[in-house]
């Protein structure tokens, strides 16, 4: 058996190859993206693979493949499952024949997300099984089990790793990669696949009838298990179970929940053998609520009575504190350790030479008093430049913009949205805004790639996920087809041009679209684009700070003068900003 | 608690902390030891403060608890101070004598601590400060500074130097093996071997 040091997502990808996955799709989203990135990087790919334009599209694709009898994997981040919720809910009714695993990665502490929602609640809602790995090795081992369960019960299975599984590493024991002999074939069965009321009522009943057997099977498979060690017990799920195992004192029983739905009879029998029970889980009190339903008079400690937090992520230290508070250990073994206070922060920042910074500068210059709805991507960092007033979910800059514009608010509305986000769920908002006569400006920040999640190609890139050339969509043509009359493409490195175009847009009524197009500076560097560095002539520099306020990490300020460090990528925007012309190309004076 | 040797590698997105952590993970595999780790991925990498946790002989969770790290390896002086509370009382620190001022210093006019102040604050621990950038250039490439740092830190790690070197050779790009092997050895010398 081979052992490798792998990222959780790499281990999951390997397990999919071991399970002989046939069909892979998804939409990038931290912390899920590396599963498909790993699968698409394989030299031999005996499976179909795509980056889909959004999660709903992806899930419908994967569901259809599973209807054809092949094994399908569909990946997304937790909030992506909101987008895919529509097919999810009814896919439980239609069921599948080939295994369908929906990987939805949760992000406790919202390291890179807009909320801390819990995918397990969706599984509960849709009445489909959900697997909740506690470690990288377990994430690997549960993937073949997920496909097998899906096929056994004819239901999609949700696989729910969290950031600390996806982006953790460990020495992982791997199995052999297997090839698949399955060939997709659609067997017509309207009673199963056409969910008209007469059919769906029957399907709903069938779905409910499957539940008791699923609950029992998850225990039989050892995915939910316990060890009686004393009169008190800790029940834990996900990575919380790993933290508990590190701290578990002698004489305390331990139940590990790795899959849902939980068998209530089995759970109740365990709980009633104890005098008190503590529940440890991240995010929603999914396990705790079931425990409380069956606990009878046994006291339960958890989120609902204030012993554990609803928010954020757990850690060994956090679990120790909860255990101490609930009386399961005398005191936490970890001494408090406070970080040094008041250090200058170093948050993520738009790269030196990022096209978004120039575009945001031009927007602020033209629409000083504007309202700036924005969206989800690297450009959300425009918050630091004061040009992001709202961000809620994918595609919502244009819809929030038209809502504000129609509310009676009289200031100009200028939305920003990236190319991938526009194609994901932005188009509907644009069509709606034009249709309903909004007056607003939409700036599409077009870097031709899905940059934030690790440079995945999208329909605007001209390449598929596997690197095959494909026609790139025309964002300009899409906007015109939505009915936008004013559509202009500009280079955000050319400030004068971008400012002029925005001023022209400002004068007009209706929806105007400005496409700010320039390669992502990271892609450009990888493609070998060289522009040469810029430098500050200290004799000309007056130390006015205009370039410093631009917020580029290549620009520093010392001894009353600006200077440019070696992060400079040569975009030359700062040279256009400098009121005295002190910023010049290196070697040219 | 868990009997693991906990190493926290910190720096700024793009400095090569992930490769450094992979080298340690691979070294653990070579020695047949268990290992756990966690790191920063996604947008947080864009020039932000990043951390990699590596728990040699780790069996449980991937995260190091503040106050429990055996060794801090920092690619930047300011980041060393930011994460210094992770070190346990007798923990050691290996720090690159290099200070990248965060853009917040210039845009928000903040006063950063000076190099002297940072070093004084870190002196509560046994500390090794080296000029990894300069050593990396001497070894043949400024990109090898992460390997220089590992070389310097190797004297405090419970891994054999020859295992670490083998791991470096396995994981760096083929064309750079010679430079990185030299970087590792020069880092060892700068760290004072053991």
Q: Tell me whether residues A168 and B62 touch, CB distance under 8 A.
A: yes
Q: Does A556 touch chain B (CB under 8 A)?
A: yes
Q: Output the domain CATH number for residue A264.
A: 3.40.50.920
Residues A204 and A284 in one domain: no
* Separation in Å, CA of A545 to nearest CA in chain B: 9
Tell me which residue of A330, A328, A381 sits closest to A359, measured CA to CA.
Answer: A381
Provide the shortest C-alpha distance from residue B15 to chain A (in Å).
12
- Rounded Cα distance between A79 and A105, Å, is 9
Would you call B60 and A316 a contact, using CB atoms and an 8 Å cutoff? yes
> How many CB atoms are located within 10 Å of the residue B126 CB?
13
A317: chain B residues, CB-CB within 8 Å? 65-66
A109 within some domain = yes
Q: Is the pLDDT of residue B45 over 80?
A: no
Between A243, A245, A344, which is nearest B104 by CB? A344
Q: Of all residues in chain B, what percent carry a pLDDT higher than 70?
A: 96
How many CB atoms are located within 10 Å of the residue A587 CB?
8
Pair (A34, A164) in one structural domain:
yes
pLDDT for A45 equals 96
A336 interaction partners in chain B (CB closer than 8 Å): 67
Q: How far apart are CA A473 and CA A475, in angstroms?
A: 6
Separation CA A9–CA B26 (nearest Å): 17
**A31 upstream amide cis, omega within 30 of 0:** yes
A248 in the same domain as A163: no
pLDDT tens-digit readout, B155-184: 999 999 999 999 999 999 999 999 999 999
Question: Are residue A281 and residue A294 in the same domain, yes or no?
Answer: yes
The whole-angstrom distance between residue B61's C-alpha and the CA centroid of its chain comes to: 20
Q: Which residue of B has its CA nearest to A249?
A: B1
Task: Tell which of A507, A526, A545 closes a domain.
Answer: A526
Nearest CB neighbour to A246, from listed B60, B82, B113: B60
- Is the backbone of residue A127 left (phi > 0), alpha (psi -120 to 50) or beta? left
User: Are residue A13 and residue A152 in the same domain, yes or no?
Assistant: yes
Closest-CA distance, B175 to chain A, in angstroms, reads 18
Final residue in a domain of this structure, among A194, A220, A246: A220
Question: CB–CB of A461/A472 below 8 Å?
Answer: yes
Q: 3-class SS at A377?
A: coil
Q: Tell which A residues from 191 to 230 touch B, by Cβ distance under 8 Å.
A: none
Do residues A403 and A301 both lie within one domain?
no
Query: Which of B4, B23, B42, B137 is the mutation pick for testing A, counting most A CBs within 10 A?
Result: B42
With respect to residue A331, please indicate whether it lies within any of the assigned structural domains: no
CA-CA distance, B194 to A177, in Å (whole number)? 43
- A34:B105 CB<8 A: no
Summarize pLDDT for B59-99 with one digit per residue, the tens: 999 999 999 999 999 999 999 999 999 999 999 999 999 99
Q: Residues A583, A535: contact at Cβ < 8 Å?
A: yes
Q: What is the CATH number of the domain that holds A175?
A: 3.40.50.970
**pLDDT tens for each residue of A452-476:** 999 999 999 999 999 999 999 999 9
Which of A458, A442, A374, A377 is CA-nearest to residue A57?
A458
Looking at the structure, tell me whether residues A150 and A240 fall in a common domain: no
Cα–Cα distance for residue pair A489/A421, rounded to 1 Å = 18
Look at residue A274 and give its three-state secondary structure. Answer: coil
Do the Cβ atoms of B79 and B70 come closer than 8 Å? no
Nearest CA in chain A to B108: A549
- Whether residue A453 lies within 8 A of chain B, CB to CB, comes out as yes
User: Minimal CA–CA distance to A51: which of A68, A31, A76?
Assistant: A76
On whether residue A272 sits in a domain, the answer given is yes
- Give the nearest partner residue to B41 out of A31, A170, A317, using CB atoms: A31
Residue A348 placed within a domain: no
Per DSSP, A187 falls in state: P
Could you tell me if A18 and A30 are in contact, meaning their C-beta atoms sit under 8 angstroms apart?
no
Using an 8 Å CB-CB cutoff, list chain A residues near B14: none
Answer whether residue A347 is part of any domain: no
Domain end (from A200, A220, A240)? A220
* Residue in B25, B110, B111 nearest the CB of A169: B25
Residue at A237 is within a domain: yes
Question: Is pLDDT above 60 for B1?
Answer: no
Size of interface A-B (CB pairs under 8 A): 165
* Strand A23-26 versus strand A48-51 pairing type: parallel
Whether residues B35 and A169 touch (CB distance < 8 A) is answered with: yes
A134 in the same domain as A35: yes
Q: Which of A8, A348, A354, A418 is the best substitution to test chain B (most B C-beta atoms within 10 A)?
A: A348
Report chain B residues whose CB lies below 8 A from the CB of A239. 61
Shared domain check, A503 and A574: no
pLDDT at B2 over 80: no
pLDDT digits (tens, 9 = 90+) for A373-394: 999 999 999 999 999 999 999 9
ipTM of the complex: 0.95
A252 contacts chain B (CB < 8 A): no
Give the Cβ contact number of residue A475 at 10 Å. 23
Q: How far is CA B98 from CA A367, B101, B161, in A?
A: 40, 10, 25
Residues A472 and A520 in one domain: yes
pLDDT per residue over A263-277, tens digit each? 999 999 999 999 999
Q: In this predicted model, what pLDDT tens digit does every residue of A295-340 receive, in sequence order? A: 999 999 999 999 999 999 999 999 999 999 999 999 999 999 999 9
Q: Domains along chain B?
A: 5-190 (3.40.920.10)
Per-residue pLDDT tens for A46-60? 999 999 999 999 999
Q: B155: distance to nearest CA of chain A, Å?
A: 23
Q: How many CB atoms lie within 10 A of CB B132?
A: 29
Do A209 and A228 have their domain in common? no
pLDDT beyond 80 at A539:
yes
Q: Which of chain A's residues have a Cβ under 8 Å away from the Cβ of B27?
A: none
List of residues 6+ apart from B105 with CB closer than 8 A? A344, B111, B112
**3-state helix vs strand vs coil in chain A, percent to 5:** 40, 20, 45
Other beta carbons less than 10 A from residue A589's beta carbon = 8
Specify whether A253 is located in the same domain as A238: yes
B48–A170 CB contact, under 8 Å = no
Q: Which B residues 48-77 touch A at CB under 8 Å?
A: 48-49, 58-63, 65-68
Q: What are phi and psi of B189, to 5 degrees?
A: -65, -45
Give the domain extent around A519: 355-526
Distance, CA of A109 to CA of B158 (rounded, Å): 32
Domain count, chain A: 4
| pLDDT score recorded for residue B107 | 86
List the one residue out of B145, B184, B149 whose CA is nearest residue B74: B149
pLDDT band at A513 (very low <50, low <70, confident <90, very high): very high
pLDDT band for position A1 (cuts 50, 70, 90): confident
pLDDT at residue B44, rounded to an integer: 60
**Any B CB within 8 A of A315 CB:** yes
The reported pLDDT for the residue numbered A102 is 99
Smallest Cα distance from B124 to chain A, Å: 13
Residue numbers in B near A112 (CB within 8 A):
42-44
For B112, the closest chain A residue by CA position comes to A344
Angle between helices A136-153 and A8-18 (to 10 degrees): 40
- Residues 94 through 133 of chain B touching chain A, CB cutoff 8 Å: 101-108, 110-113, 121
Q: What is the pLDDT of residue A246?
A: 93
Q: Over the stretch A212-223, which tens digit does the pLDDT of each residue have?
A: 999 999 999 999
């Amino acid at each position: 058996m081979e052992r490798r040091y792998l990222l959780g997502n790499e281990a999951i990808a390997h397990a999919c190859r071991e399970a002989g996955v046939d069909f892979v799709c998804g939409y990038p989203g931290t912390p899920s993206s590396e599963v498909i990135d790993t699968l698409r990087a394989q030299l031999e790919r005996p499976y179909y693979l795509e980056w889909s334009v959004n999660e709903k599209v992806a899930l419908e694709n994967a569901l259809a493949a599973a209807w054809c009898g092949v094994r399908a994997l569909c990946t997304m981040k937790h909030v992506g499952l909101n987008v895919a919720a529509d097919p999810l809910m009814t896919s439980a009714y239609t069921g599948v024949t080939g295994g369908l695993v929906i990987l939805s990665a949760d992000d406790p502490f919202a390291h890179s997300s807009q909320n801390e929602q819990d995918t397990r609640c969706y599984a509960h809602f849709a009445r489909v099984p959900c697997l909740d790995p506690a470690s990288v090795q377990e994430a690997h081992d549960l993937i073949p089990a997920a496909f097998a369960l899906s096929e056994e019960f004819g239901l999609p299975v949700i696989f729910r790793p969290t950031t600390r599984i996806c982006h953790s590493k460990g020495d992982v024991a791997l199995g052999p990669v297997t090839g698949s002999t399955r060939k997709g074939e659609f067997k017509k069965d309207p009673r199963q696949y056409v969910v008209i009321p007469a059919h769906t009522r029957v399907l709903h009943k069938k779905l409910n009838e499957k539940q008791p057997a699923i609950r029992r099977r998850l225990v039989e498979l050892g995915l939910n298990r316990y060890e009686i060690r004393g009169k008190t017990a800790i029940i834990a799920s996900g990575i919380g179970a790993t933290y508990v195992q590190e701290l578990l004192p002698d004489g305390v029983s331990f139940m590990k929940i790795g899959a849902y739905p939980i068998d209530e009879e089995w759970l109740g029998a365990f709980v009633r053998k104890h005098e008190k029970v503590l529940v440890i889980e991240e995010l929603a009190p999914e396990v705790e609520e079931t425990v409380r339903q069956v606990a009878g008079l046994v006291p339960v400690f958890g989120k609902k009575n204030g012993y554990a937090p609803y928010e954020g992520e757990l850690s060994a230290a956090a679990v120790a504190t909860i255990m101490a508070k609930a009386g399961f250990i005398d005191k936490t073994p970890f001494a408090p350790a406070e970080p040094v206070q008041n250090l200058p922060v170093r948050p993520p920042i738009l790269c030196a030479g990022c096209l978004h910074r120039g575009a945001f500068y031009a927007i602020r210059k033209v629409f000083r008093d504007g309202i700036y709805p924005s969206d989800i991507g690297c450009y959300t960092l425009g918050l630091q430049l004061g040009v992001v007033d709202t961000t809620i979910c994918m595609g919502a800059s244009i819809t929030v913009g038209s809502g504000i514009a129609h509310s009676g608010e009289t200031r100009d509305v200028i939305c920003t949205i990236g190319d991938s986000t526009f194609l994901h769920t932005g188009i509907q908002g644009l069509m709606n805004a034009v249709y309903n006569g909004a007056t607003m400006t939409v700036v599409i920040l077009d870097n031709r790639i899905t940059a934030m999640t690790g440079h995945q190609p999208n329909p605007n890139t001209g390449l598929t996920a596997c690197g095959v050339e494909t026609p790139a969509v025309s964002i300009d043509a899409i906007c015109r087809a939505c009915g936008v009359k004013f559509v202009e493409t500009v280079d955000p490195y050319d400030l004068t041009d971008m400012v002029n175009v925005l001023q022209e847009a400002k004068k007009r009524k209706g929806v105007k679209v400005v496409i700010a197009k320039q390669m992502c500076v990271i892609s450009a560097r990888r493609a070998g684009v060289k522009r040469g560095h810029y430098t500050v002539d200290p004799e000309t520099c007056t130390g006015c700070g205009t370039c410093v306020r631009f917020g580029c990490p290549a620009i520093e300020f010392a001894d009353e003068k600006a200077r440019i460090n070696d992060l400079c990528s040569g975009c030359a925007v700062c040279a256009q900003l400098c009121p005295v012309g002190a910023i010049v190309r290196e070697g040219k004076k | 608690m868990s009997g693991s040797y906990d190493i926290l590698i910190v720096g700024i997105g793009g400095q090569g902390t992930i490769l450094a952590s992979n080298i340690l993970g691979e070294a653990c595999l070579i020695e047949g030891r268990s290992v756990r780790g966690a790191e920063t991925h996604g947008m947080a990498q864009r020039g932000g403060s990043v951390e990699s946790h590596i728990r040699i002989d780790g069996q449980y969770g991937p995260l190091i608890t503040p106050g429990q790290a055996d060794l801090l390896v920092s690619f930047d002086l300011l980041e060393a101070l930011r994460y210094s509370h992770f070190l346990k009382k007798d923990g050691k620190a290996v720090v690159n004598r290099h200070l990248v001022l965060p853009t917040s210093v210039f845009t928000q006019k903040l006063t950063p601590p000076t190099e002297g102040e940072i070093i004084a604050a870190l002196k509560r621990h046994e500390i090794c400060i080296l000029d990894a950038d300069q050593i990396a250039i001497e070894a043949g490439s400024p990109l090898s500074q992460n390997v220089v740092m590992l070389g310097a830190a190797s004297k405090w790690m419970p891994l054999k130097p020859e295992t670490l070197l083998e791991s470096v050779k396995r994981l760096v790009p083929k064309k750079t093996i010679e430079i990185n092997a030299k970087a590792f050895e020069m880092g060892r010398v700068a760290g004072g071997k053991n």
